[in-house]
């Protein structure tokens, strides 16, 4: 096991930042800690690096407990969100810093630095100061500095958070290739689900100091374990529903979603999560639990369009993708018939919306195979 | 040919910005450059030989020597403690931090003469402390230790006040990355923190030097201004002046002003160069 985190907790002045978090990262794996800002994901990373001490729990790096080791002794590579380059040192000196501290011989350092400069494609910049580089270049220098003494574990705290989109896309691809080449075990923290999906072998979704779900990208996207994951990853329409007479209805409408006996939902009703791309739009009503809606607004997004729909006072968002045969077809103010091809049902929470304890997906109890194909009658 | 009204002509060309800049320059000229120039002019008008002679007089030389040692002591001790206190203030949270911050500024707020009297009451002949040291044969008041103490007191805030904002802005990320890269606390301080706060620190030291050289009131009170014994350079200038020895007074004063001026300008220009050139 490359990295193993076991039941770590951390409080700051009574605020629970990390709450009994456990997960494992296999050797050579690249894992994303994904969550909203302030969810504790950075703290988890800092605990692994030794920069923060957990109140309880254990951290194992390559099967040895490092709880008592200082950051200096753990020998992990750490990349900070804002690069944290040494401003008064040149690119070359920055990269050589760790090696010089470890008292490596001069020629050895020079060779390694030259190697890394080539790896990050900044050979011509070795005498530059960080202030003379662009954000993307700085981040690459930070990476080279972290990699200089060949750490077995690489930790990246929002590595692309401060970069603009194009640079970010370039760097994510580059980092993925680099990771594969170096065969390190890496964890990176991000709030950007796209980045997580692009880059990671596995995604650990974190919220309020806890792990909500762990899995490969298609798992967390298509089979969210709870409301938080369903809402946080990807877009989702969240609609109130009720469950009566062996069918699922949208609340306060006559619209039936599907015939099926949903599990008992308690007195709080249910919530229906449906992704915009899972809404089928038709010009005419062909039955199949479709219901009418009016297109109130269309947002052009290039490869697809976002349609704002209104059905009996409910606002629903749907995506329309470019058809192979024709271009976009729907028009504003048109009445169409929509059908939920795929959706998830969660129990409506009693008090705390964000709490993850009681909102396990009800579908799981129903059996996964059933939903998605709307049954006829 | 159309004749232009000169008032209108200038009003159109002189913006508010120009007027304000002009006013500022004039103000600086009146307030700072004129007095400085006046003093130097006096020295230049005097005979160079008599100027030099007065500067080389034993009591003058001794007073400069005394000022030198006081300044050196203040720089060394206040740099060390200033660094430690600034680091603690920025990096640690503890009870009484606000009080400590307030106390740091106190020497700025207290008049130097009052400072002198505070030390007299603390270490004077009639005080417990004074008595204690007296029995051990150590003189504090009307001697070097007392003068050192008041100089330390009046220059105490400079280094701290110059470094604290730099440290705050600088944050801890660079230090943390040094730790992760294997650097110990001391290595991190020496190789990462210190170079980053270098200019703030140097400026603080410069102000400490300037103030140590220039201190008058507090030193006057605790030293008793004994000629050839506890007379610092500023006290010497004052004494020469009251003795109507204007040449000696102006010569010594010019040297003092020149030293401070050189230090301040050195810092000012080296800082400019660095900012334009490489980092920041």
Residues in chain B with CB shorter than 8 Å from the CB of A131 are 278-280
B177 touches chain A (CB under 8 A): yes
Residues in chain A with CB shorter than 8 Å from the CB of B192 are 86
B189 touches chain A (CB under 8 A): no
Q: Is B182 close to A76, i.e. CB distance below 8 A?
A: no
Q: Which residue of B has its CA nearest to A146?
A: B181
CA distance B190 to A86: 13
Residues in chain A with CB shorter than 8 Å from the CB of B180 are 49-51, 71-72, 74, 76-78, 146
SS3 of B34, please?
helix
Predicted confidence (pLDDT) per residue in B149-183, tens digit: 999 999 999 999 999 999 998 889 999 999 999 99
Strands A56-61 and A3-12 come out as: antiparallel
Backbone angles phi, psi at A167, to 5 degrees: -60, -40
Strands A237-244 and A270-274 come out as: antiparallel
Tell me the nearest-neighbour CA distance from B83 into chain A, angstroms. 19
B186 touches chain A (CB under 8 A): no
CA distance A337 to A314: 14
B137 touches chain A (CB under 8 A): no
> A191 and A37 in contact (C-beta within 8 Å)?
yes
SS3 of A350, please?
coil
The count of other CB atoms within 10 Å of the CB of residue A194 is: 13
B275 touches chain A (CB under 8 A): no
Residues 6 or more apart whose Cβ sits within 8 Å of residue A161: A81, A190, A191, A192
DSSP character at residue A360: B
Nearest to B183 among A72, A80, A148 (CB): A72
Nearest to A101 among B176, B182, B198 (CB): B182
SS3 of A122, please?
coil
What is the side-by-side strand order in the sheet with A64-65?
A15-25, A3-12, A56-61, A64-65
Residues 6 or more apart whose Cβ sits within 8 Å of residue A371: A258, A260, A342, A343, A344, A345, A363
Looking at residue A374, its pLDDT comes to 34
> B206 and B267 in contact (C-beta within 8 Å)?
yes
Q: Is B180 close to A101, i.e. CB distance below 8 A?
A: no
Q: Is B174 close to A85, i.e. CB distance below 8 A?
A: yes
Tell me the nearest-neighbour CA distance from A212 into chain B, angstroms. 29
| Cα-trace Rg, chain A | 25
CA B248 to each of CA A109, B64, B238, B261: distance values in angstroms, whole numbers, following the listed order: 61, 13, 10, 20
Looking at residue A354, its pLDDT comes to 44
Q: Which residue of A has its CA nearest to B192?
A: A86
Nearest to B195 among A77, A78, A88 (CB): A88
Q: Is A51 close to B180, i.e. CB distance below 8 A?
A: yes
Looking at residue B3, its pLDDT comes to 66
Q: Is A86 close to B183, i.e. CB distance below 8 A?
A: no
CA distance A41 to A203: 12
Which one of A79, A80, A88, A90 would you mutate to disrupt binding with B, by most B Cβ within 10 Å of its Cβ?
A88
Closest C-alpha among A27, A145, A17, A49 to residue A92: A145
Residues in chain B with CB shorter than 8 Å from the CB of A72 are 179-180, 182-184
Taking any CB pair shorter than 8 Å as contact, residues of chain A touching chain B are: 49-51, 70-72, 74-78, 80, 82, 84-88, 97-98, 101-102, 129-132, 142, 145-146, 148-149
Tokens of B121: 């009451």
Backbone angles phi, psi at A345, to 5 degrees: -115, 135
Q: Is A101 close to B174, i.e. CB distance below 8 A?
A: no
Residue with tokens 């006013």: B23
CA distance A269 to A277: 25
- Is CATH 1.10.3720.10 correct for B51-275? yes
B110-136 average pLDDT score: 89
Q: Which residue of A has its CA nearest to B186?
A: A101
Tell me the nearest-neighbour CA distance from A71 into chain B, angstroms. 5
Burial of B265 (0-12, 13-18, 19+ CB in 10 A): exposed
* Domain assignments of chain B as residue spans, ordered by start: 51-275
What is the side-by-side strand order in the sheet with A270-274?
A256-259, A247-250, A237-244, A270-274, A344-347
Tokens of A56: 């309880």
SS3 of A238, please?
strand
Q: How many residues does chain A have?
A: 377
Q: Which helix (H) or strand (E) holds B144?
A: helix B144-170
The residue among B115 and A362 whose pLDDT is bigger is: B115
> B159 and B89 in contact (C-beta within 8 Å)?
no
DSSP per residue, B218-233: HHHHHHTT-TTTT--H
Mean pLDDT is lowest, of A187-196, A344-353, B210-219, B231-240, for A344-353
DSSP character at residue A293: E
Residues in chain B with CB shorter than 8 Å from the CB of A102 are 182
Looking at residue A369, its pLDDT comes to 30
SS3 of A280, please?
strand
CA distance A343 to A372: 7
CA distance A273 to A346: 8
DSSP character at residue A132: G
CA A93 to each of CA A96, A113, B247: distance values in angstroms, whole numbers, following the listed order: 5, 9, 55
What was the ipTM of the complex prediction?
A: 0.79
Tokens of B274: 């660095």
Q: How many residues does chain B have?
A: 280
Looking at residue A269, its pLDDT comes to 74
Strands (E) across chain A are located at 3-12, 15-25, 30-34, 56-61, 64-65, 77-79, 153-157, 185-190, 202-207, 210-215, 237-244, 247-250, 256-259, 270-274, 279-282, 291-300, 304-311, 314-321, 335-340, 344-347
Name the percent of chain A in helix, strand, coil, to the closest 5: 30, 35, 40
Residues 6 or more apart whose Cβ sits within 8 Å of residue B183: A72, A97, A98, A101, B191, B192
Predicted confidence (pLDDT) at residue B258 exceeds the cutoff of 70: yes
pLDDT tens-place values along chain A, 377 residues long:
789 999 999 999 889 999 999 999 999 999 999 999 889 999 999 999 999 999 999 999 999 999 999 999 999 999 998 889 999 999 999 999 999 999 999 999 999 999 999 989 999 999 999 999 998 899 999 999 999 989 999 999 998 887 888 888 888 888 888 898 888 999 999 998 888 998 999 999 999 999 999 999 999 998 888 888 988 888 888 888 887 777 788 887 888 887 766 565 555 678 888 999 999 888 888 777 888 899 999 998 888 889 999 988 889 999 988 776 666 788 888 899 998 888 888 877 654 444 444 444 444 333 233 333 333 32
Residues 6 or more apart whose Cβ sits within 8 Å of residue B62: B228, B231
């Amino acid at each position: 096991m490359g990295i193993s985190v076991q039941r770590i907790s951390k409080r700051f002045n009574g605020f629970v930042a990390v709450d009994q978090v456990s997960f494992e990262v296999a050797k050579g794996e690249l894992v994303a800690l994904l969550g909203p800002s302030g969810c504790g994901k950075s703290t988890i990373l800092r605990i692994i690096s030794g920069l923060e001490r957990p109140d309880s729990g254990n951290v194992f790096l390559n099967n040895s407990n490092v709880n008592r080791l200082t950051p200096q002794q753990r020998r992990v590579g750490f990349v900070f969100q804002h690069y944290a380059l040494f401003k008064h040192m040149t690119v070359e000196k920055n990269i050589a810093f760790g090696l010089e501290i470890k008292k490596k011989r001069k020629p050895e350092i020079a060779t390694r630095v030259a190697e890394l400069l080539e790896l990050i494609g900044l050979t011509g910049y070795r005498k530059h100061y960080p202030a003379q580089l662009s954000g993307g270049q700085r981040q690459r220098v930070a990476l080279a500095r972290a990699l200089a003494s060949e750490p077995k574990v690489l930790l990246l705290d929002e590595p692309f958070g401060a970069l603009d989109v194009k640079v970010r896309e370039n760097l994510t691809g580059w980092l993925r290739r680099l990771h594969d080449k170096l065969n390190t075990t890496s964890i990176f923290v991000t709030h950007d689900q796209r980045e997580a999906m692009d880059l990671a072998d596995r995604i650990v979704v974190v919220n309020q100091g806890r792990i909500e779900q762990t899995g490969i990208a298609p798992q967390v996207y298509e089979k969210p374990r709870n409301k938080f994951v369903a809402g946080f990853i990807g877009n989702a329409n969240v609609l109130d529903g009720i469950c009566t007479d062996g069918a699922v209805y949208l609340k306060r409408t006559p619209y039936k979603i599907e015939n099926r006996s949903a599990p008992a939902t308690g007195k709080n009703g249910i919530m229906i999560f449906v992704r915009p791309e899972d809404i089928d739009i038709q010009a005419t009503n062909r039955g199949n639990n479709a219901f009418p809606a009016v297109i109130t607004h269309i947002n052009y997004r290039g490869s697809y369009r976002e349609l704002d729909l209104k059905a009996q006072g409910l606002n629903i968002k749907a995506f329309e993708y470019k058809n192979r045969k024709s271009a976009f077809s729907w028009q504003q103010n048109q009445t169409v018939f929509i059908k939920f091809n795929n959706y998830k049902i969660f129990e409506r929470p009693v008090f705390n919306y964000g709490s993850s304890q009681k909102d396990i997906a009800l579908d799981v109890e129903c059996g996964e195979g059933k939903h998605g194909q709307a049954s006829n009658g | 040919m159309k004749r232009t009204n000169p008032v209108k002509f200038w009003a159109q060309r002189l913006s508010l910005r120009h007027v304000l800049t002009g006013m500022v320059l004039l103000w600086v000229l009146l307030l700072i450059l004129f007095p400085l120039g006046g003093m130097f002019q006096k020295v230049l008008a005097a005979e160079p030989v008599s100027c030099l002679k007065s500067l080389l007089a034993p009591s003058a030389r001794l007073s400069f020597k005394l000022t030198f040692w006081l300044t050196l002591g203040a720089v060394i001790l206040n740099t060390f403690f200033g660094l430690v206190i600034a680091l603690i203030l920025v990096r640690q949270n503890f009870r009484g931090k606000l009080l400590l911050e307030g106390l740091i500024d106190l020497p700025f707020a207290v008049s130097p003469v009052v400072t002198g009297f505070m030390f007299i009451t603390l270490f004077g002949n009639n005080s417990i402390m004074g008595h204690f040291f007296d029995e051990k044969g150590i003189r504090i008041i009307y001697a070097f230790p007392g003068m050192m103490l008041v100089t330390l007191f009046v220059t105490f805030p400079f280094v701290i006040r110059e470094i604290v904002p730099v440290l705050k802005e600088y944050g801890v990320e660079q230090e943390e990355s040094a730790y992760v890269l294997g650097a110990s606390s001391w290595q991190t301080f020496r190789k990462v923190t210190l170079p980053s706060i270098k200019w703030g620190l140097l400026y603080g030291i410069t102000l400490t030097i300037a103030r140590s050289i220039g201190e008058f009131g507090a030193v006057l009170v605790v030293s008793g201004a004994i000629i050839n014994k506890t007379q610092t350079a500023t006290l010497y200038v004052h004494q020469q002046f009251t003795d109507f020895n204007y040449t000696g007074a102006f010569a010594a004063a010019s040297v003092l002003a020149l030293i401070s001026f050189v230090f301040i300008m050195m810092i000012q220009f080296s800082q400019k160069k660095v900012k334009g050139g490489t980092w920041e």
